[in-house]
Amino acid sequence: MKKLSILRKNLALSITARGLSNLITFISMIYLIRYLGQVQYGRFAVALAFVNFFAFLMGPGFRTIMLRDLGKDRELLPTLMGNMLALRLLLALVTFFVMAGITTVMHFERNITILIYILFVWLFFTNLSVQFRSLFYVYQDLKIESAFMIFEAGIKALWIGICILKKLSLVTFTVGFTLIPLILLLFSSSISFLKYNIKRLKINLSDWPALLSTGLVIGLVGLVSSLHLRVDIVMLSKLTGSDSLVGLYSAAFKLIEAPLFVYAIFSSVILPEFARYLVSDKAWVRKESIYFTKIFALLFFPTALLLAYFSKPLILFVYGKNFAETHHYFRVLLPSLIFMYFNTLTGTILYASGKQKAVLKNSVYSLLLNIGTNFIFIPIWGAYGAAFTTILSEAFLFYLNFLHTREALQPSM
């Protein structure tokens, strides 16, 4: 019972901390956008989006592997950490040359090119920081991780405030922005080395092929999932040719995406514990899954009903009268959050079971269904058709994941 209590408290703590840090970041980013203006912020946004595209190459799936494998056996820490740090350094070098080549081919303007190379350093420090901060989830030290979330948001807000007060340039802001994950890396690595006894890291080259292949599968799941969330908007644009309709639908979907950070934290918190208990006590995993689903239902359904009822004033408050029609699409999309929760839960159980290939296959099938049904329903129903196919494909993904999850949770004979 103590283990149950700790897990549940850590989950509540992490979600609260992430919500607070997101709020701080959201407010500070509004001031940053107003300060930089359309042109300067546009350059920063383009450079940041471009660099983030290469995050996939700098250690795909490593965080999930660490949460799962250390959840099962913490004695693997020195070797797993040593291998992953060495691989991240090597992959960062490869990624840099790939990015540099693509940057040259794309002929970005000089100001954006400078930002791209600065932000590559930001991405490098961020990846290393995430590597060490993953240990806070493994060891259920979520008070430390929660403090890091708020600390990170606070530093960003402080730096944005300094830049506005001192009227600093975009390049200067970006350099300071890049140093923030370095500060987090220094703190997280120091805590990890002192608290978790990883002073003697080991590197085993024979483990690298398995790490890379497993990481690639998990990374591809993330890539497919990202496409799954975006493909409706692209196809709505191509099949209707209406920028106005795409804008209304995209605004609705942006609100649907807002609570997804809760699902991401939920997965990170439960994955190490589920991986550990799937080996010894599958009944515990089933019990916890049912408990979390009941909590989700108790919170989601009343909230969804309120959001659906007050959707129009909500949309007018957030986006203004030009987006008044968005509330129709928002209402239709709300049920997709139910299936997104179940896909997070079942996907996490499958990762914990080492069935990442099943998750990838299921995600690809769901994406293909989404694309295929978009061709049918968008020409007939427009944005409503895009919303319907989103719900349909998420439900189909849950069905596929559920079949594999039921097998993974079968009692061992």
% of the chain residues with pLDDT over 70: 98
CB 149 within 8 A of CB 21: yes
Q: What confidence tens digit (pLDDT) does each residue in 289-309 have?
A: 999 999 999 999 999 999 999
* Domain ranges for the chain: 2-203, 211-408
Number of C-beta neighbours around residue 299 at 10 A: 11
Which residues, other chains included, contact 218 with Cβ-Cβ below 8 Å and sequence gap of 6+? 60, 61, 64, 65, 351, 356, 359, 360
Which residues, other chains included, contact 110 with Cβ-Cβ below 8 Å and sequence gap of 6+? none
CB 85 within 8 A of CB 131: yes
How far is it, in rounded angstroms, from Cα 165 to Cα 336? Answer: 43
Reported pTM: 0.85
**Could you please report the per-residue DSSP string of 223-276?**
HHHHHHHHHHHHHHHHHH--HHHHHHHHHHHHHHHTTHHHHHHHHHHHHHHHHH
Per-residue tokens: 246: 């795409």
Q: Which residue reads 């049912």 in tokens?
A: 290
Q: What confidence tens digit (pLDDT) does each residue in 55-107 have?
A: 888 888 899 999 999 988 988 999 999 999 999 999 999 999 999 999 999 88
How far is it, in rounded angstroms, from Cα 242 to Cα 155? Answer: 41
Rg from Cα positions in the chain: 22
pLDDT for the residue numbered 1:
47
pLDDT for the residue numbered 3:
52
Mean pLDDT in order along the chain per 10 residues (413 residues): 67 89 89 84 85 84 91 90 94 95 90 94 95 92 94 96 94 96 96 84 92 91 84 88 87 87 90 90 92 93 94 88 90 95 96 94 96 95 94 97 93 65
In angstroms, the Cα distances linking 106 to 56, 103, 109 are: 19, 5, 9
